[in-house]
Amino acid sequence: MTTTNLATVSEAELSTRANPFPGADTYSWTRAFSEALALATGLLPLVTDVIASYVIRPKRYLTKARTETIHRLRPGVIVKDEQTGLHVLSVTTHGFAGTPTEYNERVRSAFDSPARLDSSPARVLPRLTTGSGPNGTALPFVTTAEPVKPTVLNTLLGLMDLALTEADRKRGYDLAEDMTVFGQTNRTMHVPFLRTITENHQGVPVTREVVDLVAIKGSNRSRARLKLHGLTARNIAFGVPTDMLDLVESKAGQPTLPEYIADPVVWVPAFADTLRDAFARPKHRLHGTAQAAAEVAAVQMQIIVGTDNPAEFHNTVFDPNRADHRRPQLDYPLAEKSTSDMRAVLREAKASGRITEPVRAWLAGEDSEPDAQPGSVTDARDRRDRALLGMAFPKELEHDREVARVLGEPERYYDSREENVTLRLRMLSAAIAEGYRTRWNPRLLDGTLYSSFIAKRGSLADRPDWRTALDQAEADETQLSDFLVTRGLHWLAEHGMVEADRGSADGQRGPGRRSGVSARNALLLKSVQTIALMREIARANDAGTPPRQVDEAGAPVDGTVADRIWFSVTFPKTGRAKKKVDDRPGASDSAPPQQPEKSPEQVLLDAQLRLVTSLSSELPQAFLAALAVAREAIAAGAAAGKPALADPPSYSVEVMEQALTRLKRDLGSMQACLSDMKGETEVTIDSVTEQFANSEGER
């Protein structure tokens, strides 16, 4: 079998692909578009300012006569639909514009009908009505008849998200993942929805207003786009986290930045600039997000901004037919698809005589290594890993073209794009996982190679064995990034220290859930500790034990386990200083949003995460602390020439034995209850330790 060399990938090397994120437009053209839209439709500046903030290059839609001082929309920018009487604005917007709506007909069954006798008020959709101007004139936007409480809206958006998730599962493929490759081919249609939310600001009742462009056609596509940008529908209603925006920090004596910003006139241009910067900077904290959303950085969008029947607007606006989602069915998960791709590549290599059948079966995970060499578990895995690296990204041009033909890639020198690199990385990662105890998410390597890696004849073959690679990284830190991409990230994933789940804010909430790029960047900041951790993982794999934590000097710490929580604390996600952006005043409501009480689903998720942490980390640590004290007593007794419990107080041994007995019974009860908690809503956990503690407290 032939092998290949890897062209060194520099962490500082930027993508040669044109940046698909346009950034924010100038304030003057955005304002001019808002004023022209208000003039053409009668919509409130509150609404048109928000629509304008999402529009890319608004200048192209404007015209001005020589005799006029104001701009107007060009003919054809707004077109009337003769069937519905709706007036539709067609523009190019940022990909994070538009949200799914809880009023989508496809998910109505998720909510309680107000006609239902036992309906829950928090599950009933508020009544929609046509919006109006200051003088009561009907205007083409929708709102609710009454303001909505934050807790109710939070619950409704949660129910919508669950319902859309269930509907999305029926399509047979992951829509967000599909968009990372194919982008969005069908435009979505939206309507301005003025949300009015009753909040309590420092004891004063306040009605906050925020304009949301909700989907009439394409709720699932809108949700997928938001997901790729790291946002959710809740962010639009309750604010985008300020730490996602490159805003200048407040100076001394000035008001501090709020934790969340809900005014689109403020956060939309800031986020647009942040994404543009993040795409071009591999070390930017949102680089992985920008890479994921690149194919939907800009989208074609239709926005309903007028009607022939304003009074009935809220009823007729949902009349347009909902576009069917048509994609070739993928009837197996990403990991299965990716390993299938690698098996196809291996079959072609065998057919062309590049590898033998025993080698093909070994690399495909169908048989053991032919002519196995003596050595450790890590050595054997590493041989297979390095062979697969060379198969996915070979050195020889003829071999590479063979891989491209199997995968249906375009000619590498003309049209090889980032998604081709991404799909090969996923194919490689999934195939390598076949040789490990844990199958991780093959998205783990997404973004770790630059987008023109294939076109520039990049190769991952002829990598040194893991010991040599770590020795080289110790002598030259620039080699460490290569090792992490080709071996290290997989080693971490096997032990659950990192779990790829990018593209969703909720998905990355748990510790360790981050892109491979994020984990690699954090590891590169602590090279000594990182190299020591890699060697400790290799030792643990060969010994069949969990890896230990390593300190900053690189020394393993006995009695500890390197788990996901430790990794996230030791190698935190990296960030950078925020930059200043221009202030953009507008008619939109800039009041800081009050965060709603958590919905039952959110409370449950938090409780689940705390339970996992408590049982998997805190409880073992408490036991290890007690174990250390016991060993200390044994050592002290040996030094004194006596048994550790020689001549103790008469009651002490009995007290300890009783405590351990109670704990043993409670651990058994807890283990049994974990199974019950998977399928029952009401589970009782009785504890003899708790009963004993309560009885002691009552004395």
Position 435, amino acid: G
Q: d(Cα 76, Cα 61) in Å, to the nearest integer? A: 9
Closest CA to 143 of 135, 153, 158: 153
Helix (H, G, I), strand (E, B) or coil at 499: strand
Question: Is residue 175 within 8 Å of 225, Cβ to Cβ?
Answer: no
Tokens of 123: 């599950």
Does the structure show a pLDDT above 90 at 262? yes
Does the structure show a pLDDT above 80 at 137? yes
> Can you give the three-state secondary structure of 480-537, one letter per residue?
HHHHHHHHHHHHHHHCCCCECCCCCCCCCCCCCECCHHHHHHHHHCCHHHHHHHHHHH
Q: What is the pLDDT of residues 314-370, one digit of tens each?
A: 877 876 533 232 233 334 467 777 887 888 899 889 888 899 988 988 998 877 889
Q: What is the dihedral of CA 155, 161, 164, 165, to 10 degrees?
A: -130
- Give the pLDDT score at 698: 59
Does the structure show a pLDDT above 60 at 1? no
Contacts 24+ apart (CB under 8 A), 690-694: 690/666, 692/662
Question: Is residue 584 within 8 Å of 267, Cβ to Cβ?
Answer: no
Helical pair 334-351 and 397-407, crossing angle rounded to 10 deg: 130
Helix (H, G, I), strand (E, B) or coil at 55: strand
Q: How confident is the model at residue 131 (pLDDT cuts 50, 70, 90)?
A: very high
Q: What is the pLDDT of residues 217-241, one digit of tens each?
A: 888 899 999 999 999 999 999 999 9
Question: Is residue 424 within 8 Å of 400, Cβ to Cβ?
Answer: no
Position 588, amino acid: S
Helix, strand counts (H, E) of the chain: 25, 11
Q: d(Cα 699, Cα 607) in Å, to the nearest integer? A: 32
Task: Identify the bridge partners of residue 212 per DSSP, sorted by sequence position.
Answer: 193
Q: What is the pLDDT of residues 600-638, one digit of tens each?
A: 877 887 788 788 878 887 888 888 888 888 888 898 888
Does the structure show a pLDDT above 90 at 545? yes
Using alpha carbons only, give the angle 563, 567, 571 rounded to the nearest 5 degrees.
175
Does the structure show a pLDDT above 60 at 18? yes
Question: Is residue 403 within 8 Å of 395, Cβ to Cβ?
Answer: no
What DSSP line would sit under 384-415, residue for residue? HHHHHHHHHS-SSHHHHHHHHHHHTPPPHHHH
Q: What is the pLDDT of residues 82-129, one digit of tens each?
A: 878 899 999 999 999 999 999 887 777 788 877 666 778 888 889 889
Q: What is the pLDDT of residues 396-445, one digit of tens each?
A: 988 998 998 888 887 654 455 788 899 999 999 989 988 888 888 899 99
Mean pLDDT of 148-156: 94
Specify the higher pLDDT residue, 585 or 386: 386
Question: Is residue 224 within 8 Å of 618, Cβ to Cβ?
Answer: no
Over pLDDT 90: what percentage of the chain? 48
Distances in whole angstroms, Cα of residue 176 to Cα of each of 100, 220, 221, 410: 14, 9, 8, 23
Does the structure show a pLDDT above 60 at 504? no
Q: What is the pLDDT of residues 74-86, one digit of tens each?
A: 999 999 988 788 9
Does the structure show a pLDDT above 60 at 208? yes
- Give the pLDDT score at 413: 47
Average pLDDT, the chain: 85
441 φ/ψ angles, rounded to the nearest 5 degrees: -70, 120
Question: Is residue 232 within 8 Å of 161, Cβ to Cβ?
Answer: yes
pTM over 0.75: no
Tokens of 447: 């973004």
Task: Identify the bridge partners of residue 215 per DSSP, sorted by sequence position.
Answer: 190
Q: List, in sequence order, the alpha helices (H) in 94-149.
A: none
Over pLDDT 70: what percentage of the chain? 88
- Give the pLDDT score at 503: 40
Closest CA to 452 of 407, 484, 422, 430: 422
**DSSP conformational letter for 204:** E
